[in-house]
Amino acid sequence: MQFKVFSLILLLSVAISSCGDKTGKGDLAIQFLATYDGAPLVMLQEYPYNDTLDILFQKFNFYISNLTLLEEGSEKEREVLEIDFVEFDAIDDVAKAALGFVVLMEDLPAHSYKGLNLGLGVPAGLNATQESDYPDSHPLGKASHYWSGWGSYIFTMINGKVDSDDDGQFDDSSVLYHTGSDDSYRTKEIAHQFRVEEGETTTIVLEVDLHKLFLDTDGVHYIDIIANPATHDITNKTITNLVMDNFQNALYVVE
């Protein structure tokens, strides 16, 4: 009887002490870097858009969702993140651009993985909610990123200004490329061997080239942003969907 009680106490002690135990667990950091034609993306810095236009950006941000890790040696996918918001809006110099924006997932099982899947935008279930359903601090609680006219979150927000007369003043036109609605949601699978090590933080670097988001359907030229300065027309999502298609192709892992 005494042994049984002792065993029970021992078991309880082990159970209690294992609460918060990080044995066999590690962290995964995904470091997002934004570039423009391979150069670090810095807000308010001038970049050539095409042969005749220069552009600068004030905002570049997007939602990522349903992030899963593909386990090595099996078909198992481990869901590690439902939704997060990645933004480069505060990057105002090259040093900050090199740091990018980090999404950290803690206490993942130490394991080898062969890749990851992630959603670009807000998946339909969550996109059926609205910003008032969340506190301000939640990624989906951003009033600035819910577009009631579309009944959708703004999946990617690209705000820029254009100098078309080469006078150095970016006051000729604005670019407001905001994507959203369920049919603009995209997923991206990235093959990449990595291991989450126990007690360590493993970092994967994902880079997105913003200029590539503006590629036209021929994949060579860029969208006429003077004729199409905004993507707010709920009845015409051609550019919205094109931008999201481009986003899929413009995001890649830095080995």
Partner 1 sequence: MIRPLTYAAALLAVFLLSPACEREEIVDDLSSIPYDPKAYVMPELPYFFPEMPIPEDNPMTAEGVALGRYLFYDPILSADSSISCASCHRIDRAFADDQNFSTGIGGQQTMRNAPSLANVGFYQNGLFWDGRVKTLEELALHTIEDSQFMAHSLEELLEAFREHPDYPGRFRKAFGIGSRKEISKELTAKALAQFLRTLLSYRSKYDYGNWDRGPETQFFSESELRGKILYTTEPVIDPSDPHPGCSHCHHNTALLTSNEFLNNGLDPALEPEDFPDPGLGAVTKKNIDYGRFKVPSLRNVERTAPYMHDGRFQTLEQVLDHYSSGGHSSYNLDVNIMPFPLSEQDKQDLIAFLKSMTDEIFFQENSYKNPF
Please report, as ranges, the residues that interact with partner 1 according to CB under 8 A: 43-44, 58-59, 90, 92, 130-137, 141-144, 146, 148-149, 159-161, 169-171, 173-176, 226-230, 232-236
Give the nearest distance from C-beta 44 to partner 1 in angstroms.
Answer: 5
**Shortest gap between Cβ of 226 and partner 1 (angstroms)?**
7
CB closer to partner 1 out of 108 and 234: 234
Q: Which residues are paired to 154 by β-bridges?
A: 180
Give the shortest CB-158-to-partner 1 separation in angstroms. Answer: 10
Q: Residue 67 or residue 157: which is nearer to partner 1 going by CB?
A: 157
Residue closer to partner 1 (CB basis): 23 or 132: 132
Task: Provide the minimum distance between the beta carbon of 209 and partner 1 in the complex, in angstroms, as a whole number.
Answer: 21
Nearer to partner 1, 142 or 186 (CB): 142
Question: Smallest distance from the beta carbon of 169 to partner 1, in angstroms?
Answer: 7
Q: Pick between residue 17 and residue 235 the one whose CB is nearest to partner 1.
A: 235
Could you tell me the smallest distance in angstroms from the CB atom of residue 154 to partner 1?
11
Q: Which of 130, 118, 7, 105 is nearest to 66 (CA)?
A: 118
The DSSP code sequence of the chain is -HHHHHHHHHHHHHHHHTTT--TTEEEEEEEEEEEETTEEP-TT--EE-SSS-EEEEEEEEEEEEEEEEEETTSS-EEEEEEEEEEE-TT--SHHHHHH-EEEEEEEEEPEEEEEEEEEES--HHHHTS-GGGS-TTSGGG-GGGEETTTTEEEEEEEEEEEE-SSSS---SEEEEEEEESGGG-EEEEEEEEEEE-TTSEEEEEEEEEGGGGGB-TTSSSB--TTT--B---TT--HHHHHHHHHHHHHEEEE-
Our CB check for partner 1 shows the closer of 42 and 70 to be: 42
